[in-house]
Amino acid sequence: MSYQTRNIIILSCFLGLILLLSGYFNLFRYPRQVNRLNRDIKNLQTQIAALDGIENEYDRLEKLIKTQEERLSKLDKRIASSVSPASTYQYLNSILQHSGLLEFNLYFAENKSAQGYQYNVFRLKGEGSFVRIYRFVSYLERGPEFYRIRKLKLSMLEDKDPETGKIKINVPFNMELHALYAEVDNLPPIRRTIADVHPEQPTNPFYPYIKGNVPPNTRNQLEVERAELKAVLPDKAMIADHRGKIHLLKQGDPVYLGYLSNINLDKNEVEFVLNKGGIVEKYVLQLRFDKEIK
């Protein structure tokens, strides 16, 4: 083989190799890179489009934050990070120093969660004059702590002093109370206290203009409107009076101003029929499973 022929073969091999490499890059690698770059460009364009108007959104959020800060600066309620049954008991006792003494039992029912906050559910059962109950409710609603009255049931109990013969009006009540709390940072402190609440003087709607002819409880019978159901048995009910004495009654047994008319084991309740000076009404006691706080 001549020298010229050999050089031609070598050059042909190099030329073929160059053509193969050029075809690989032009037909495969470069198109893939172009496609990838095009996808990256589209993603960047999408992100840029999403940022369009972000300055206006930022201004809107800044105005919203300033508005919320102004509202918080005017807040007259103290938001606690947690509320225990003991702290609730102390707070209610501090209210009693301003509203006047009320006799009640405090029961813790459960803890619940809501959107952005939690609350403890308490139940209060007691009695007192309407004026003091009204003031107690006013201090709860307007006081510095976040408490909400969910349910309130009032009734009127007319009693006659056996010695003086004067009519005495008691108002038994049942209340469901929610103690709200939440984790909120950087809240401005408030200076308002319970002493800053000034409730109005109410008119007693429970005081009768015409007093009923209600006989005094000379036999010390169970006053069901001041009592609490402790247990329900198939044919008997255990009921504690307002002094804590336990009465074991069956259907038909007499109570003050009436008798026990029905025992409902399925609903854990008992029903009474009372005659208040010619006005006959039904009264129901239900069994509570809450924890009493002392």
Tens of pLDDT, residue by residue over 120-155, are 999 999 888 888 999 999 999 899 999 999 999 988
User: 224-293: which CATH architecture?
Assistant: Roll (2.30)
Q: Any bridge partners for residue 178, and if so which?
A: 121, 148
Whole-number Å distance between alpha carbons of 71 and 147: 19
Checking DSSP bridges between strand 246-250 and strand 279-286, what pairing results, if any?
unpaired
- What does the pLDDT read at residue 210? 47
Q: Provide the residue ranges of all domains of the chain, joining segments of one domain with +.
A: 3-52, 85-196, 224-293
Positive or negative, the CA dihedral 114, 119, 120, 125 is negative
pLDDT in tens, 207-242: 655 455 667 777 889 998 888 999 999 889 999 988
Nearest Cα to Cα of residue 292 among 223, 222, 228 = 228
CB-CB contact of 108 with 167 (8 Å): no
Model pTM score: 0.60
Q: Any bridge partners for residue 124, and if so which?
A: 106, 175
Whole-number Å distance between alpha carbons of 174 and 150: 11
Q: Which amino acid is at 118?
A: Q
pLDDT in tens, 156-185: 877 666 666 666 778 899 999 999 999 877
DSSP string, 204-271: -TTS-SS---PPP-TT----GGG-EEEEE-SSEEEEE-TTS-EEEEETT-EETTEEEEEEETTTTEEE
Pick the CATH number of 85-196 from 3.30.70.60, 3.30.420.10, 3.40.50.970, 3.10.105.10: 3.30.70.60
